[in-house]
A and B are shown apart, each in its own frame.
Chain A
Amino acid sequence: MTGSVPFNIPFLAVAALIGIALFVIISKRNLIKLVMGIVILQAGVNLFLVTLGYREGGIAPIYTNAPEGVMVLPVPQALTLTSIVIGVSVLALMLSMIVHTYRHTGDIDAEKSRRMKG
């Protein structure tokens, strides 16, 4: 490990976020808490994409009135933008389905609303 940040602390933070999110998804039964776990997972993946492209002592990759310094990598920032928009879309669809399930069965428990009634 020859960097100036010891033990790659941002990547360890990403591993902790994904671990917490997977624990919430596995062990909670309320549907709203399940959706919150999925949102934490999306946040962890976005953080990983942004911290992959950091250059030490870097400035933003924009040439308008730019100060002195090397520029950070621009491609991971573009991929993170796409990922954030897709995360918002998936969250909107999941919340609509929860409202629909609550209207039809009156219960938001993941174990009770599993069986399809014919």
Chain B
Amino acid sequence: MRINGAWHLCDDDRVRPVVTGEIAAADGNRQQVTFLLDIGADRTVLSADILRSSGLAFTASPDRLGGVGGTVDAVTVDTQIVFLREDGGTAVFKGRFAAFTDPKALDMSVLGRDITNLFAVIVDRPQDIVCMLGQRHRYVIQER
């Protein structure tokens, strides 16, 4: 399985690795979500703009989420995240995800290690590659 991402120019002129999926919104429609591919993040977190524009019901979370700026209250949502595989198929992750309610808390949803631990993650800026490999796909490191 190979899920491709891309390098994306962000608002601070930095280029970051992202991968796009979709979630099921409250009205039955789907919502496109671009995730920062963050191998340092313990959990996948939906940003507030995604949570609030999707209308998904949420519950208070007993867990707070911590970062460099300290800890922040979060909520949890039950939803599914669907990614497009390179072969045209899909990878669907169903479960409970954290989310923020304040847009200022996080500008972009984060794909964390609850999902990325299932893959080999390649974020290769010199070669312009962002992808997640699993199942039958492997990578090889070799000296040129």
Please determine whether chains A and B interact with each other in the same assembly. no
Report which A residues bind B (CB closer than 8 A): none
Report which B residues bind A (CB closer than 8 A): none
